[in-house]
Structure 1
Amino acid sequence: MYDALVLPFIEFAFMQRALAGALMLSLSACPVGVFLMLRRMSLTGDAMSHAILPGAAAGFLLYGLEIVPMTIGGLVAGIFVALGAGAIARLTVQKEDASMAAFYLISLALGVMMVSLRGSSVDLMHVLFGTVLALNDGALTLIALVSVTSMVLVGLFWRALVAECMDPLFLRSVSRLGSPVHFIFLGLVVINLVAGFQALGTLLSVGLMVLPAAAARFWTQRVSTMCALAIAIGFASSLVGLLLSYHASLPSGPAIILSAGAIYFVSVVASPRGLLLSRLPKSLHRAA
């Protein structure tokens, strides 16, 4: 048991770095995912994860696989798409989900084309799916900064974030924080996706944000408990996924996301609010 579960993280520095990066991502991204889910914006998070691709690709074209240029490019692209989609939704007849979808499709195609102009298929796979087992000091530093920033901002604006999830119109009527909190939240989504991109790539970074949050929703209704449980599920998914990757020679990023997916499906079936237990009292009542 020790050799299977602990030894890989003792013997290999790359496993230690991967675990540290994945745990820090879970700590910051999973609570953001809870608010994303409560706002019914989970697919918006997926669109935003693709929106950072052109910026990261621009950094790649200019400097290669360097973390700072790709991160700055991803941030700029993500902020541009978030603000652009929001502006179109407010100034035209188009809804925000449609404008976000349009930006997402354009960004994905543009980013893939930009990477393909200079890089190989290996570079494209690196950008799209990440390399959590190859995290360096720069990537870990970025993830740590994003994690600390996210926790501080969520702590400072906790009540406003919860209120906006429940009744955004009420929050705007009683507080000036309504609109600022919305953009702060979008900023949190962007920076966590940029940090997750370093480990999981643009296609999978949203998975560690949304899947643990979606699974936690089946177990509790309290937002604070939901955030804590989502973090715990993120931790478990990261640990199990990395061990599966090590022992079964699987790609590490997909293994982490599939582990989170397995926990989600268990929650769908076996949780107190899942398919089985939520229907059990009604079945017993009808039988009686």
Structure 2
Amino acid sequence: MSSDKSSESLESLKSLVHQLQTKIERLESQAKQTASDATTKAGEALSSVKDTLAGKATEGGAVGSAAQKALTPAQHIRMVLMGPPGAGKGTQAPNIQEKYKVCHLATGDMLREQVKAGTELGKEAKKIMDAGGLVSDEIVIGMIKSQLETNPQCQLGFILDGFPRNVTQAEKLDEMLEARKQPLEHAVQLLVNDNLLVSRITGRLIHPASGRSYHKEFAPPKKPMTDDQTGEPLIQRSDDTAETLHKRLATYHQQTGPVAEYYKQKGIWSGVDAAQSPKTVWASIVKIFEEQKKQ
């Protein structure tokens, strides 16, 4: 009897052990599957992250490339803007500056800024001007060079306005720019008939207190010779007479003719009919830059 009970107990234990082993194996299998699933999901997640990062990098690269491409034209706008009084340089230079993110270097403004800032060049220029002399080419070119080195806006290009006025200045300017590996790429000349210029300028009317300007023909005040806002009288500048303007234009042509020829020989001169509307003139200037990009 005792032997039978022992046999039953042993069989019962074997059965229990077998059940436990089966359960353990099942649990281990489930654990392995869970671990495998987790690894797969983790791998998928990691792959997704990598893809996303790669996409962002590609997108960022595309944006960076697009930005670089957008800036490329401006890097080639190194130019001289030429034109007689009243031709519209004061209208077109800011347009070029804004579109192509370049600096506008007007020699008169540079001289005033350097004198006001008390720089060495400014002090030297002030002494000469106070003595009634003309500032030397070397000083003006030195100021231009200083702007190219220190003005952040000049990193992408520049517009020179009011210089050079003769071939000697043009040659000295080229020497400095070529030494900096920033040679001129454009010399754009605004062309207008003298009689039209005289008509444009002699018709100008000024309100002295505010600086508001009118034109007898193109933008007349509501009441003749009277400021629209204050009712105060308008004046005509003493140097805006036909006689004075003809003298200024004669000097301009005498000086600028050889400079234009110099740039024609270098292959960078372009003429623009500035008798047209400012919008049309602007479109012509942009076309010059676009044509240069295609070359």
Q: Calculate the TM-score normalised by the size of structure 2.
A: 0.26
Q: Calculate the TM-score normalised by the size of structure 1.
A: 0.26
Structure with more of its chain in strand, by fraction: 2
Structure with more of its chain in helix, by fraction: 1
Work out which of the two has the higher radius of gyration on C-alpha atoms and give 1 or 2: 2
Which structure exhibits the higher relative contact order, with contacts defined as CA atoms closer than 8 Å and separated by 6 or more residues?
1
